[in-house]
Amino acid sequence: MSPGRAKPPLKGNTAPLTGNADKSARPAMYDIMPGTTRVEIRTLKVGRYVALEENAYKILGMSKSKPGKHGSAKARIELEDIFTGQKRSHVGTVTDTIHVPLIEKGSAIVTHIQGSEVHAMDNKTYETLILPMDSELNLVAGGEIQWMEAMGRYKVTRDH
């Protein structure tokens, strides 16, 4: 290319998607979160689960506002992280879609406790599970526990 000639423009959108870029302009590959499905916010109910930013949350409360003259109805969702207990809120239009984690629950027999891990045998599949220890629960070898799995993370939810 000779000096003084402008370079031809690049084809396509080459700007990086950072910050609060318009999410509708993002390709579908940015919208994939393993271990989840998508539903409209209007279909959610208190006690169900949602996934935001790679974390699973339980819905503690939900309020919907009526649409104005211009615009759409909004929903405010109060959430609690099911693994850490951290609370947060999310606001979106009722027609927006949101990720819902695929949660698996089951019961198991504790085989032994090693450090901060609970080793247990699933009651249905007889598979060995290694779960994180919860100091609030009274876990003993031979006892039965309830566990849950969401987005690849496990938690002991209850001891019997």
Give the DSSP per-residue string, 43-55. G--TT-EEEETTE
Instruction: Kindly list the domain boundaries of the chain, sorted by start residue.
Output: 26-101, 103-159
How much of the chain exceeds pLDDT 70, in percent? 81
DSSP 8-state secondary structure symbol assigned to residue 8? P
pLDDT at 83 over 70: yes
Q: pLDDT band for position 16 (50/70/90)?
A: very low
pLDDT single digits (tens) 110-152: 999 998 999 999 999 999 999 999 888 888 889 999 999 999 9
Strands 87-93, 55-65: pairing kind = unpaired
Please state which of the four CATH numbers 3.90.1150.10, 3.30.2350.10, 3.40.50.360, 2.30.30.30 is assigned to the domain occupying 26-101: 2.30.30.30
| Ranges 21-25, 45-49, 131-135, most confident | 45-49
Judge: domain 103-159, CATH 3.40.50.300: no
Picking from 109, 104, 113, 112, the residue whose alpha carbon sits closest to that of residue 155 is: 104
pLDDT at 20 over 80: no
pLDDT at 4 over 60: no
Q: For residue 120, give every residue at least 6 positions away whose Cβ sits within 8 Å of its Cβ, in sequence order, or none.
A: 108, 109, 110, 111, 128, 129, 131, 145, 147
Q: What is residue 24's predicted lDDT score, i.e. its pLDDT?
A: 45
Q: Please indicate, yes or no, whether the overall pTM of this predicted structure exceeds 0.75.
A: no
* Residue that the structure tokens 């974390």 belong to: 55
pLDDT at 39 over 60: yes
What is the Cα–Cα distance from 133 to 104, expressed in whole angstroms? Answer: 18
